[in-house]
Amino acid sequence: MSDDGALRQLAQLCGVHLDFHDLSGTRRETPVPTLRALLRALGVEAESAAQVSEALALRRAGTAHRHLPDEILLRAGQPTEIAIATPCGWQLLDEDGAELAAGKADDSLALPPLEVGYYSLHLTGGGWREESFLLVRPAHAPLLSETSGHSRSWGVTTALYGLRSARNGGLGSYDDLAVAARALGAQGAQFLGINPVSALGWAATETISPYSPTHRGFFNADHIAVAAGLGPSPDGALIDYAAFRARQRPALEADYKKTARRKDFKSFCAKADASLEDFSCFEALSDRYGPDCRRWPAELQQPGPAAVAAAGQRAEFHRWLQWRAEAEIDAAQAAARGAGMSLGLYLDLAVGARPGGAEAWMHNDTIAHGVTIGAPPDQLSPQGQSWDLVAHAPGRLARARYRPLRRMLRKLMEKCGLLRIDHALGLMRSYWLPEDGSPGAYISQPFDRLLAVIAIEAHRARCVVVGEDLGLVPAGFRQTMNEAGLYSYAVWQYETFDDGSLRPAGDLRPFSLACFSTHDTPTLRGFWYGADVEVWRGMGWLSDAGAKRRHGDRSHQRAGLRRDCNIAPTAGPDEIAGVIHGALTAAPAAMVAVQLDDVLGQIDAPNLPGTIDEHPNWRRRTGLAVENFETSPRLAEIGATMRAGNRQPPVPAEKGPMSCPE
């Protein structure tokens, strides 16, 4: 076998894809420098022929001596018999290490029916010991009908940072979220969806994107409401984050001094796991050394006694911030449920965290080093995307028994009734970009294991899960995800026939959350008038001729919408939006989300994928203060539209809950 052939064999065994087909259908082969870079990121040295040969031998030997797989997937409530070739003793332990069962096996071992959760199976034979990790999953993640009592539902999505109010001083707060939820619940909305509210990092003063967190399992302090308030949001359309933080942060420091001795804060700290201390240490150290731990003193580049000592008393302040954030989010969820929302908050899990941030620092043993996550060119961004986010290496994450993912999901799911997993395709394969400049390529993920973890945590929290499955969807991905109980994400403006025309709303997938637009797409009004095409032309992403073709395509799509939705030729923007929302509510999709920007007639999108400073991403304010939601004619109208579409019918007793697709 040639050197390159051996390298490709090793890469394939390690999950690196040797090629992929791009949006145009062109096959792109993974070059040798990319193969080496991605193997390095997985912890496999493959710089020379000798290293490749040694790595191949080790990988083959690694599974040859095992008596059982390192991981075993089981269904809850079912007895299991596992064949084993060598007589041994066995012991089954739960998550806390308590023994549940034990015995001796000659050619098989019988396990009792197990509840949903994680277990370890320990085998002992003549001179050998072995452990297998058991993931015992439910039949599927919770369904809408099982958690809400409705077979169909609707809600509103918006940007928390953009909410205006009389008290937030310039950036939407968790208290504003509660006010908005009460008003929308009164209109019949069953959920209120927001951008990720994961921690951006106290010292990361330049970071504003909610999709570039320092850690996805902790919460953003920018949204904490100051006790005395900061006065009304400024009139300007765009947020000045620096000016807001200059006012909010000293006020938070003052609040901390007044409440740090409270018993409920002490109780919060006492009940928290060790990750809270690690996170608060990172934040305290970042105050002194900056937000990127890769530039810190060597002895502080990992959690431990040295980091705790260096963080000192300042770490308590960052624990206090998390206490305040969690308390306010819990209050917002209680307000949503109290207003009649069956699901309440709809939170969003970002794809990854920033390099050098708290998540990478706390989980250095599972992070893939030397690569970041991105996407090849697709309909969201014709230039492709580099997200500058770290990835967890599949093998390392498995050896850690998925604890970083488990804890992250548990924290978010206990705060909401609906969780959206951004870029759910990453559960099956991730597009990694080497930091050495080599082209990107895909790497396989343990899809069935990750789905099992999600289903287990969702079952425990009774949380409905949506997987954002846009982009280049591999064959079988969507069906497997749906069968595990994760709903699809159907964005109507991307649901097209081969000629580019939009499918009728009646074609939107039943097992999905459907919407017309998202934070990453043109708004409804922007789509209708081709505002996104003009933005792309202004960015230089489209030539004049290309923009003309895009406008022609959009004209074709508008004509199809007019025909399918019976939109009159003389209809104005508000009437067009009303008719499209009416068609959306009648769609077969289990859930429908209406973007607040579309209800209020906003033309510009919140974010332009693939840009950082070229577009005012994550800075636009909504045009309506939350105190006025309750009396807003536009919100009353969307509520009436959704009610007319029978968006909250109870599940018929004789039919039972809606099933996952077969």
Right CATH number for 77-137 from 2.60.40.10, 3.10.20.30, 3.40.190.10, 1.10.150.20? 2.60.40.10
Rounded Cα–Cα distance for residues 544 and 537 (Å): 7
Compare 656 and 518 and report the one with higher pLDDT: 518
Computed over every residue of the chain, the mean pLDDT equals 93
- As a dihedral over the C-alpha atoms of residue 542, residue 548, residue 550, residue 555, rounded to 10 degrees, the angle is 160
Helices and strands: H and E segment counts in the chain: 21, 23
Phi, psi (deg, nearest 5) at residue 610: 90, 0
- Assign a CATH topology to domain 144-486+620-644: TIM Barrel (3.20.20)
> What is the structure's pLDDT at 478?
95
Range in 20-34, 117-131, 615-629 the model is least confident about: 20-34
State yes or no: pLDDT of 259 exceeds 80. Answer: yes
Separation between Cα atoms, residue 317 and residue 300, nearest integer Å: 19
Q: Could you give the angle at the alpha carbon of 414 between the alpha carbons of 113 and 137, nearest 5°?
A: 25
Neighbours of 589 (CB within 10 A): 26
With CA atoms as reference, report the closest residue to 577 among 522, 628, 500: 522
Residue 412, Cβ neighbours under 10 Å: how many?
25
pLDDT tens sequence across 296-305:
999 999 999 9
pLDDT (0 to 100) of residue 610: 73
Q: Taking the domains of the chain in order of start, what are their residue ranges? A: 3-64, 77-137, 144-486+620-644
Q: Cβ(391)–Cβ(368) under 8 Å?
A: yes
Mean pLDDT over 577-605 rounds to 95
Whole-prediction pTM value?
Answer: 0.94
Give the dihedral sign, CA 485/491/492/497.
Answer: negative
Mean pLDDT of 306-311: 97
The answer to whether residue 655 scores a pLDDT higher than 80 is no
Q: Which residue has the tokens 């409530």?
A: 77
Query: Would you list the DSSP string of 191-256?
Result: EEEE---EE--TT-TT---TTS-SEEEEE-GGGPPPTT---PPPSSSB--HHHHHHHHHHHHHHHH
The single-letter code of the amino acid at 242 is A
pLDDT band at 645 (very low <50, low <70, confident <90, very high): confident
State the Rg of the chain over Cα: 26
